[in-house]
Amino acid sequence: MSLSRPEPERTQAAAWKRAARWAVACLLIGWLVSQEALSFEPLTGLARRPEVVAALVGLLAGVTLVAALRWSLFVGPLVDMPRRYPTLLGMLWSSQFLGQALPSTLGTDALRALELSKRHDVALDASTHSVIVDRVTSLLGLVLLALAFGVPALLKARPESTVTVVGGVVVGSALVALGARFLVRRLGGSERWARLVSRPVIAKALVLSVLAHGLKAACMITIIVTTLPASALTPLELLAIASCGLLVEALPVAPSGLGTGHAAFEVLLSAYGVPLGAGAYTVYFIVKMVVRCFGALPFMARR
């Protein structure tokens, strides 16, 4: 007997999850508005600097290029695909374009798993596993970046937050350990998946993950230094703010980081005495949406 829930029940559950994520985003945005912390001043200032805008778009486009290369490491053992990298890049960018209407990155992952299975005769569970491993290694790369640069600098700036930060690290590490244990148990039963999760492949994927999130951090840092009065911040402090803020943005509790990213950068930059953090993230959010819209090109090309 199938353990899957009936289709109406799954649809209703998905609708409730979508509503909950939008509720979280609205509550956080409402809180920022009530605190008079949501400003469009950084956005209007950047509109007069097209060269900076072009650099921001290039950095976030580079994230997608690196992410497609990372995913190709896990798809390789599944199917002998001609022109694998450009094909996967088109799938990834198309799913990001379509995923803007979905409540989280999990919806985007589901779209590319379905696309890979449908177009290249890959079993759906296999394509789903490749996306799961890719997502987990991406999050691990972001966690590594935040632990290496974010936590020490944040503790130095806000010693009173030691308990909160250390608790968050412990909980986050436990979740990552549970996720890794699940992957080993779920995917380690076949020779093909043993190759997929082999140490050399995971090591390469983690390097690419850190590189991808480093490009995101570079984009956010560029926004901060060009639109906010942040001249007193050191490069390490900027990297700490960017990595910790992006880690909060990655939590699947709001659509595309809406609200969570705004609140995270407002709080983090305020800890260093820099105002308008939510406004800086608004710029990042808009640039991210613009880059995802580029996915309309490969999407239309395959239709």
Residue 201: what pLDDT? Answer: 85
Q: DSSP assignment of 195-228, as one string?
A: HHT-HHHHHHHHHHHHHHHHHHHHHHHHHHHHHS
Which pLDDT band holds residue 162 (cuts at 50, 70, 90)?
Answer: low
CA distances from 202 to 125, 133, 209, 284, 285 (A): 20, 9, 10, 29, 29
- Single-letter amino acid code for the residue at 239: L
Within 8 A by CB and 6+ apart from 232, the residues are 272, 273
Residue 181: what pLDDT? Answer: 57
Classify 253 as helix, strand or coil: coil
Residue 126: what pLDDT? Answer: 79
Short-list 255, 253, 295, CA closest to 67: 295
CA distances from 36 to 30, 54, 213, 226, 271 (A): 10, 30, 30, 22, 17
Give the C-alpha separation, 45 to 48, whole Å: 6
Contact yes or no for 103/255 (Cβ under 8 A): yes
- The mean pLDDT value of the chain amounts to 80
Classify 60 as helix, strand or coil: helix
65-111 pLDDT, tens digit each: 999 999 998 887 777 777 788 889 988 998 888 776 554 555 677 78
Which pLDDT band holds residue 271 (cuts at 50, 70, 90)?
Answer: confident
Give the C-alpha separation, 38 to 49, whole Å: 21
Please identify which residue in the block is written with the tokens 């991808």: 212
Tokens of 180: 């890794």
pTM over 0.85: no
276-292 pLDDT, tens digit each: 999 999 999 999 999 99
